[in-house]
Amino acid sequence: MPELPEVETIVRGLSSQLPGRSFRGVDVFHPDLLDESSASFQARIAESKITHVGRRGKNILLSLGDPGVLVVNLGMTGRLLFLGPGDDPVLPTHLALTFPLAPDGSLLYADSRRVGRLRILTPEAWAVESERLGPEPLGRALTPARFHGALQASRAPIRSWLLDQRRIAGIGNIYAAEALFRAGVHPFRRARTLTAPESKRLLQGIREVLREAIRAQGTTLRDYRTASGTEGEFRQALRVYGREGKPCPTCKTSVERIVFGNRSAFLCPVCQPKSF
């Protein structure tokens, strides 16, 4: 998916448009993206007013007042687009839901692979789910000491650890690879074997790469778009992700791709030694 920087970019885009607008219903073309029937989803959305747009991990949160919160997880190919009254009404392909808005404009959800999810939860139910997610990597609560302590408790490979949303929320395959490269840590390393300086570097690497990617409006590989439909520019700044066989930006060694956990990891074998 869209990882934290992409979701954050979409949320910022929607935040300037949606609060104050209301839904005027919803058209559902692909009900398999919902966890309930189209009819009940439509009934619950009804004419609700959007009071706030937020983010938790990779989830987009639209606060609706009475029905609770609309939680959108984009999966790998989901797009959430705002179409203003004066905008070019070109519809995206793979349109799954459209939400006409009052007084004007509309919100569109498109998703070619349809592994995204849209759910309406009560604030209480959402609070329970949110508690199950790990801390926000950019949040103040996550200190280097807490981060190191959490790593100490796990034997999992550090890359698996970073991708586990229950441990830290918002990191996906791209930024896990980039953060590990910046910290000089091999993705196979067991979490608990990271030294305090290494875990400090890793947390710094995570924060730097996420902030830089947010500044660039995220990474567009193929499907990701901002809420206004533009592409993110961070792809050109990627140092190892998707760069198999290309030179490491630091030492020029060929970037390697290894597969584990059913997905590709990218690393520089020199800058990220397996052991010292």
Partner DNA sequence: AGTGTATCCTGCAGGC
Partner DNA sequence: TGCCTGCAGGATACAC
Helix (H, G, I), strand (E, B) or coil at 157: strand
Binding mask 80-109 for DNA (x = CB under 7 A): -------------xx---------------
233 is catalytic: no
The first and second tokens of residue 133, run together, are 């997610």
Q: CA 148, 130, 75, 15: dihedral to nearest 10 degrees?
A: -110
Catalytic residue among 21, 56, 58, 167: 58
Instruction: Report whether 5 contacts 210 (CB < 8 A).
Output: yes
Is the CB of 101 or the CB of 151 nearer to DNA? 151
Smallest CA-to-CA distance from 5 within 143, 129, 261, 13 is with: 13
Is the CB of 48 or the CB of 199 nearer to DNA? 199
Smallest separation, CB 218 to DNA (Å): 7
58 is catalytic: yes
Instruction: Report whether 18 contacts 90 (CB < 8 A).
Output: no
247 is catalytic: no
Instruction: Report whether 50 contacts 62 (CB < 8 A).
Output: yes
Q: Does 274 bind DNA (CB under 7 A)?
A: no
Is the CB of 52 or the CB of 113 nearer to DNA? 113
Residues found near DNA in the complex (CB under 7 A): 1-3, 6, 32, 57-58, 73, 75-77, 93-94, 112-115, 154-157, 160, 163, 165, 172-174, 218-224, 232, 259-264
